Amino acid sequence: PGNFRRRSEEDDDDAEPLTGGRIRKGQRVLVNTKSAAEGQFVVQSTGNVSDTYDLAKKLGDGTFGTVYLGFHKTSNAERAVKAMLKDGLDAAMLRRETELLMSLDHPHIVRLFETFEDSKKVYLVMDLCLGGELFHRIVACGHFTEVQASVVMSQLLSGVKYLHEMDVCHRDLKPENCLLTSKDALANNCLKIIDFGMSCVAHKGTVMKKRVGSPLYIAPQVLMGRYTRSCDIWSCGVIMYIMLC
């Protein structure tokens, strides 16, 4: 278990700049080069988060911060606003993850709209997913029917296919890193892949060595320290098995 940890840019020999993937025309890649050069947190939006969003209520607490329901003051769009204290955060890892999310645009990958920063906290404004983790839905149901599992797998594999087309390997796919947008039935729901803290650029055929991920979901090749981005497909298979059993 000691081998499976969040990595930073400095200790991952697989790491490449995440924006080194294939960025397609029309995609947003917003990087504050001044902040990056100074080693500060990425700042994508000017002003305070309260100037742009009304934070209505707390949705939950996590390891790295608190999530609030936010309403955009101009459009009234609902967003999830994650507030994280700077103390204890890995600035390099956060910068890499936000740069990656800013470059991705797919219905089954959580979207990062913008970020804010003040003297104590960093705020990530993201898709609102009120349905909770896929993990909790599995626990509540006991197991899924084949039809229910096929709905989830279709959306999950669609997101993974897109990531691989963008030369990105997630490396930590599991039910806890899949959110549902609502509490509706699975047939009327939308799955979003989250948590790209362990992701890296992985071109087709690229061999990675760093052993990262969650032990129950990683491929044997990851344990052996020699694997390709196909490790994500193994993790998807484990998720499917858990849903059906």
- Residue 84's CB: how many other CB atoms inside 10 A? 20
Respond yes or no: is residue 172 known to be catalytic: yes
Spatial distance between the Cα atoms of 138 and 40, rounded to a whole number of angstroms? 39
Listed in sequence order, the residues at least 6 apart from 217 whose beta carbon sits closer than 8 Å to its beta carbon are 172, 173, 174, 234, 235, 238, 239
Q: Which of 230, 154, 160, 228 is nearest to 193 (CA)?
A: 160
What are 100's two structure tokens? 């990656």
- Exposed e or buried b for every residue in 166-194, given b needs 16+ CB within 10 A? bbbbbbbbbbebbbbbeeeebeebbbbbb
Pick the catalytic residue from 51, 54, 118, 172.
172
161 assigned to a ligand binding site? no
Task: Name the binding residues for ATP.
Answer: 82
Binding-site residue set: 82
Active site residues: 172
